[in-house]
Chain A
């Protein structure tokens, strides 16, 4: 269901796509059985389109990728984590609306 510019992160590609990324990254931790995550999906897709080329934005299915979700201590979804130079710099638990996600994106782009 992801948008054209939304990247699908996984346990396998996380090191290459997120940790070693030369651009800031926004990871949306979600799962198919999480209703609030599904409803929030279009916002993440829209952000991925709007910030294409500036910030890498994508989703990680916690069900299929328990290793990464566990490593970052994700215990509630949706959770969004912002990465810069391979390190976590900001986190938001629960859907927060587009303005809040843009505030997080500003933190890693400015």
Chain B
């Protein structure tokens, strides 16, 4: 094989890129990162990925992984913290780290595995008969709350504003099941108390209120997983997304030979299907770029 490249990230963008570079006989190593398979591994059924009916997110990601490996891509279960090292070891790099769950910074990290989670689908079953809260106002907050109703005795969504950002279809689930999911509007989580999650301090309409809780789930969106690129800040925008478009190369960053795709670039669409498309673009670009050097 003439060239070798590294792909950082193993979600839809990274794996789609790897399928293409692998088939182009480019020696491809995927650094799988902290969440192999990416955000889809934390979901249930996939309804909007063309050609995929009745399969779950994890199933889809397992088959994408298998497909990339079939064409020779190697999967390394490590998290990259230094772009320069990869640049020196490989002929090119594709950044496809995706995005990670946004946190509030109210001390929640101390409660990982002790009642705090960002994956309701993973952890709902531990809350059988318990009293749980979900923070967020979008589709994923409602999906998470819904997943929790199968186990928990009480599910309450804490919404920062006075209305949901979620789609009509998702809001219908709430409206049709008022006995299953409660909603508190104008509510912010201020603090978590207890050895495990025991009590939440809330700000409700500007008034502090304490509630008992067994679990707290966050579904407040994602931030691009580009923290390790702080030394390469010239390729990031003010919100931490990777900027692409370098001369004739739409998917190349301002660093020659470093391409990017998926949710670490895209703050607008953020779909598995769009990430796949961007991954394919980056793969075709890096292949041509390597040949043109």
Report if A and B associate in a common complex: yes
A-side interface residues toward B, CB under 8 Å? 31, 33-40, 42-43, 62-63, 69, 73-77, 79, 91, 93-99
* CB <8 Å contact, B41 and A36: yes
Main SS at interface, chain B? mixed
What is the CA–CA distance of A31 and B122 in the complex, to the nearest angstrom? Answer: 8
A50 vs chain B, min Cβ distance (A): 12
The answer to whether the Cβ of B3 comes within 8 Å of any Cβ in the partner chain is no
Select B113's contact among A31, A38, A93, beta carbons within 8 Å.
A93
The answer to whether the Cβ of B137 comes within 8 Å of any Cβ in the partner chain is no
The answer to whether the Cβ of B126 comes within 8 Å of any Cβ in the partner chain is yes
Which residue on B lies nearest to A91, using beta carbons?
B113
Task: Knowing A36-B122, A75-B123, A76-B126, say if A94 contacts B78 (CB, 8 Å).
Answer: no
What is the CA–CA distance of A69 and B57 in the complex, to the nearest angstrom? Answer: 25
Task: Knowing A75-B123, A97-B32, A97-B77, say if A36 contacts B37 (CB, 8 Å).
Answer: yes
The answer to whether the Cβ of B35 comes within 8 Å of any Cβ in the partner chain is yes
* CB <8 Å contact, A63 and B125: yes
Q: How large is the interface on B (under 10, 10 to 19, 20 to 34, 35 or more residues)?
A: 20 to 34
Which residue on B lies nearest to A93, using beta carbons?
B113
A34 vs chain B, min Cβ distance (A): 5
What is the CA–CA distance of A99 and B76 in the complex, to the nearest angstrom? Answer: 10
Select A96's contact among B34, B56, B123, beta carbons within 8 Å.
B34
What is the CA–CA distance of A18 and B194 in the complex, to the nearest angstrom? Answer: 30
Task: Knowing A35-B40, A74-B126, A75-B126, say if A97 contacts B62 (CB, 8 Å).
Answer: no
Chain A residues with CB below 8 A from B78, complex form = 97-99
* CB <8 Å contact, A75 and B58: no
* CB <8 Å contact, B37 and A34: no
The answer to whether the Cβ of B187 comes within 8 Å of any Cβ in the partner chain is no
* CB <8 Å contact, A43 and B77: yes
What is the CA–CA distance of A33 and B122 in the complex, to the nearest angstrom? Answer: 7
